[in-house]
Amino acid sequence: MAKKDSMSIMNEFKNAPQKEKIESERKLKVAIIGTGWIADAHINRYKEMSDVEVVALADLVPGKAEKFAEKWEITGARCYLSHKELLDAETDLDAVSVCTYNRQHAPCTIYALEHGVNVLLEKPMCVTMEEAVDICKAEKKSGKILSIGFQ
């Protein structure tokens, strides 16, 4: 078998067919916890997905979640001042993006998993080994999906 040169490999990628958009009758209900700058990347992608609806936002800074919703034209999203308020109130979420500052990754993620919600956790996963162990235990116990946003 002949070895391909790098240009022919690159051309395969350029000419690869585009993925088809997924159409679904049911939209996944997603919330974003933490509406700082990294949340912009999450909402930007969610808005491209026809089968995802961002239904709730949480941020510790009063008015910040509402401003985020307005900036990104997320109509109807409910806004909360904490991850606990959001997860206690929103009982039919499919997933959350945890976009808080690093020291709050573990508490938000563990609380979401304990509430039966899948989690997309922004990097870094957490700040201590003990938090990492606690997060992994919560994931196993919940049976839900935990994905760490390392690209």
- Chain centroid to CA 32: how far? 6
Q: What is the pTM of this model?
A: 0.84
Query: Quick one: DSSP state of residue 101?
Result: -
- Hey, what's the torsion of the CAs at 80, 150, 123, 56, to 10 degrees? 0
Q: Name residue, tokens 């979401």.
A: 112
Per residue of the chain (151 residues), what is the pLDDT tens digit? 556 666 666 666 566 666 666 566 789 999 999 999 999 999 999 999 999 999 999 999 999 999 999 999 999 999 999 999 999 999 999 999 999 999 999 999 999 999 999 999 999 999 999 999 999 999 999 999 999 987 6
